[in-house]
Amino acid sequence: MINELEKLEGETKEFKEFNVQLCLDYGGRDEIMRAVNKIIKAGVRVIKEEEITNYLDTIEIPDPDLIIRTSGENRLSGFMPYQSTYSEFYFANIYFPDFTPKKFRKVLEDYSERKRTFGK
């Protein structure tokens, strides 16, 4: 699978229209703890939202607009708890290896019909 991911990364490295992240072995709480420790080590006295964002592992990655959770689970399991505040969610009752391009298009169609309010 790593060879396929490396190939896909190479094929799409110049693509700029949108961003797709496949996060493997990611822990959101762990990421937040590392960010807090980096902030403390940097001597920051007043912590604002931007400070936390700037110390996350995902600093160069835009916050997700859509999170797709496969496997039939209806929870995030610690996935990007800080970054997903205004994300839309799609819960699929299938496992990742069975998540086909056709199913992905269906999810994108569903997402395109949603009215996003970003907390307003």
Domain extents in the chain: 2-112
Mean local confidence (pLDDT), 87-100 = 91
Residue 24 confidence (pLDDT) above 90:
no
Bigger pLDDT: 15 vs 33:
33
pLDDT at residue 35 is higher than 90: yes
pLDDT for position 28: 92
Query: Taken in order 78, 96, 15, 102, is the CA torsion positive or negative?
Result: negative
Residue 112 has pLDDT above 90, yes or no: yes
Q: 62-74 burial string, b = 16+ CB within 10 Å, else e?
A: eebebbbbbeeee
Residue that wins the pLDDT comparison between 57 and 22: 57
Task: Tell me what pLDDT residue 43 has.
Answer: 95
Statement: residue 102 has pLDDT above 90:
yes
Best CA proximity match to 107, nearest among 93, 86, 117: 93
What's the confidence (pLDDT) of residue 111?
93
Picking from 83, 92, 81, the residue whose alpha carbon sits closest to that of residue 65 is 83
| This prediction's pTM | 0.74
CB neighbourhood size of 40 (10 A): 11
- On the question of pLDDT at 83 being above 90, the answer is yes
Residue 2's pLDDT band, with cuts at 50, 70 and 90, is confident
Beta bridge partners of 98: none
Name which CATH class applies to 2-112.
alpha beta
Distance CA 26, CA 112 (A): 27
